[in-house]
Amino acid sequence: MFNSLTLLPSDPIYGMQALYKADERPSKINLSIGICLNEEGKLLRFKALNEAETRIFERQASKEYLPITGLASFCNQAQELVVGDHDPSDFFSSQTVGGTGALFVAGQLLIKAGIKHIFIPEPSWPNHRQLFEAANLPVTSYPYYDKANICLEFDNMLKAVSNMPANSAIVLQASCHNPTGIDPTHSQWQELSTHLKQKQILPIFDLAYLGLGSGINEDTHGIRTFLKDGHNMFICTTFAKSMGIYNDRLGLLTLKMPKTQLDILASHIRSIARTCYSSPPAQGALLASEILGDSCLCKMWKDELNSTRLRLHTQRSMLFAQLQKHSCKTPYKHLLQTQGLFCLFDIPPEGVALLREQSGIYIALDGRISLAAITKDNVEAIAKGLSTL
C-alpha cells in the first residue's frame, strides 16, 4: 500500500539535534537549536514561571478541554501585549498549538479565502515554506538578505513587492529575523507598510522572539506601524522562547480585519482548529495568563526577559572578541549589528560538517549559529573551531 513512498530527509534542525545527542564527546557544543540557556548551558527557567506553576498546582486546575479557541483570558492578555492599546473589538485572537500551529491555521484560512500567492523572505525559517505548501499555497521567496554586504537587501525587497499580485500575502518576521538577526529599521518598516498598503498585500507577521531583540515594544514596532497605517493583517505569536515554555506549545493567532468580517473568519478558524487538533493544550496558557494577569508576576517576567535579552548581547560580544583573538577568516563583524538568538555565518555545508566532526560543534546546515548557547566556558572553543574553517 505504501510502496510508492520514499525516505524523506530528516528535519535540518531536529536532525542536527539527534546527531548532537548521539555524540559521546564530553566537549561537544550545540549551537543549532534556538532555545534560551543559562550561564551553565542549561535550559533557562524564569522565576516568574516557577511561581505561576506553584499557584496553578495549588489550585488544582481543571483538566477538562479548553474551548476550540483556547483560554480566553490568555488570548485577551496576549493580544493586548502584542498590539498595544488599540480597540480590542477590531481583533480576533485564538490560542494555537505553538507559533507553528498559528501559521498552519493562517495558511488554511488563506486558501479558504481564495488567496493565490504567499511570499516569504529569502532566507527564512525553513518551516515557513512547508507550512504554506501544506495548505496548497504557491510559495515564492522575496529578497531579504544581501549576503555579499551582510545587510538587509531593502531596495530589491521593495522592487519585489511592486511586482507582487494584488490580494497576495507576505510573511514578515516581526523581529530577530531567523536566521540572519537583521531587521528593518523604523523608516524601512514605514516604507514597507506604505508599499504593501498600495499593493493590497496582506501582511502575515511571525512574532517568535518577543522581547529578545530590543524589548517588547521595539520588537512589535513593525506590527504597530502597520496597524497605525490601517492594514488588515494576521499576527502569529509564540511564547516558547519569551517565557521558556517550549514543550507546552503556546501560540496565538491574531486577526485584524474589518469588524463585519471578524465573526465569519473566527468561525472558519474554529473549523480549521477543530479539524486539526480540536482544542489547544491548557498548561502553557494557564501559566502565561497567571503571569500576564498579575502585575507583580508580570513585572518579574519582563525584568527576567530583559536580562535574557541583554545576555544575548553579551554573548555576541564575547564571541566577537574571541574571533578577533583567534584571527577568524570567516566574516563576523555583523555579530554586533544583529540581534536576537541567531546570527548567520557564511559557512558552506561542508564547513558545517567539518566543524561537527573535528570540533564537536553543531550548527545549522545554512551556517546559522544560536548565540543563546554561548557561555564563558565554551566561547573560546567555539571561536577556535570557527577559525579553522
Rg (CA), the chain: 21
Cis check for the bond before 258: say yes or no (omega within 30 of 0).
no
What grid cell was written down for 2?
505504501
Query: How far is 179 from 378, CA to CA, in rounded Å?
Result: 22
In whole angstroms, give the CA distance from residue 197 to residue 202. Answer: 8
Of the residues 183, 206, 219, 248, only one is catalytic, namely 206
Name the residue with cell 493562517. Answer: 106
Is residue 199 annotated as a catalytic residue, yes or no?
no
Single out the catalytic residue among 183, 189, 219, 241: 241
Q: Please identify which residue in the block is written with the cell numbers 518577543.
A: 210
Contact yes or no for 339/314 (Cβ under 8 A): no
146 is catalytic: no
Contact 132, 107 (CB under 8 A): yes
d(Cα 316, Cα 348) in Å, to the nearest integer? 21
* 8 Å CB contact between 66 and 285: yes
> What torsion, rounded to 10 degrees, do the Cα atoms 265, 90, 260, 230 define?
-100
DSSP state of 257: -
Task: Please list the residues that pair with 206 across neighbouring strands.
Answer: 173, 236
Other Cβ atoms closer than 10 A to 48: 24
Query: In this structure, are residues 205 and 170 in contact, taking their beta carbons and an 8 Å threshold?
Result: no
Burial of 376 (C-beta count, 10 Å sphere; 0-12/13-18/19+): exposed
Would residue 301 show up in a list of annotated catalytic residues for this protein?
A: no
CB neighbour class for 112 (10 Å; exposed up to 12, middle 13-18, buried from 19): middle
Q: Residue with C-alpha cell 491555521?
A: 105
List active site positions: 125, 206, 241
